[in-house]
Amino acid sequence: EEELDSYGVIFSASIAFFYSAGGITLLTFFELEALHGYFVFLASILYFVVTFIVYHSQSPRSILYITHLGIAITLLAVAIPLQLSGAWISLAWILQSVVLLYISTRFSYKTLFYFGSGVLALAIFRVLLLDISNYNIERFIPVVNVQFLLLFVLALVCGWMGYLFYKNREVLDSFSVPVTAIAVLVIVSNLFMLGAFTFEVSRVYDLREHTLTKQAGIDIEQQHELTGTPPLELRDEHRVQLESLNQERGMAISILWALYAFLLIGLGFFKNNKLIRILGVIILLVTAGKVFIDLWQLGAIYRILSSIIFGALALLVSFIYAKYKSTIDEKIL
């Protein structure tokens, strides 16, 4: 039976490949490239039907069942980039992974769980490597842009997965997935959410920097045409403005991180969730370190002030921890 299954796997995979490749070739020959995605999507539906038939005729753990299910999901994943473009590919993969993971958890399908996790991982890599940096700064609108949408959706999906797995911990055990995966999902969800707003703040300043540089270029060119000499004063003024803008950007991001950290800490106390509280404290400590580095780079006076302030804060924290050690360990740690 295993030998028969292995031949069936090779036969099914070969049919899927030649059927899809042949169909795409014919559509291209007749200049119907716009139908490539629809054709592969119909092929995936066909294999989902075959998977359903195999599921009821053989064991759900059989090689043929897993193979046909894998082919169906792979064809569906391939159909998406054939029919869509840009960031919408990632968004479609994310939604596909949500459906697969929900079905796998709801009905205890281990195979679907791994396929869904794989599709989600593929979507995350595509978002981080391609979609985040692919934007036009001159057409940028804060919050109302596809990059923010992708990061926001990823944050919601990871948080939802953490909640789903928490409510179905026995299913997670049957999939041989450690319970720590729930904590990882919660952390990743918050990092995506924080990253989404951080990118928005940074891009707002990118837009201001772009506008400033563009206007400075016009002013420098006009001044050069009038005087015939390089306007060094304008160049120096532009450089100072850019430095001031970068400092303002760093401060705005630090404020955002601090607010998010306090929000997590408050939410952790309200929900009595230790993980969220610890995550908030870590983000707050990272923010403090960032502020210290930012101040250290501003000059000698700021270095002295930052050292004094952070030294005083360290002593204050040490004093508070020593006095209220048991309460802090119980409530926060």
pLDDT in tens, the chain (333 residues): 444 455 666 667 777 777 778 888 888 877 888 888 888 888 888 888 888 887 777 655 567 777 778 888 888 888 888 888 888 899 999 999 998 888 888 878 888 888 889 999 999 999 999 888 887 777 888 888 888 999 999 999 999 999 888 888 888 888 888 888 889 999 999 999 999 999 999 999 888 888 888 776 666 666 656 665 556 666 667 777 788 788 888 888 888 998 898 888 888 888 888 888 889 888 888 888 887 777 766 666 656 665 666 666 667 656 665 665 566 555 555
pLDDT of residue 106: 82
Residue 117 CA to residue 154 CA, distance in Å, equals 13
Closest to 294 in 3D by CA, of 257, 321, 268, 331: 257
| Number of C-beta neighbours around residue 146 at 10 A | 15
Residue 208 CA to residue 249 CA, distance in Å, equals 10
| C-alpha pair distances (Å), 318 with each of 282, 292, 314, 323, 329 | 17, 18, 6, 9, 14
Q: 103-115 pLDDT, tens per residue? A: 888 878 888 888 8
First CA to last CA distance, the chain: 55
φ/ψ of 108, rounded to 5, equals: 60, 50
Residue 155 CA to residue 153 CA, distance in Å, equals 5
176: left (phi over 0), alpha (psi -120 to 50) or beta: left
Q: Which two tokens stand for residue 37?
A: 């995605």
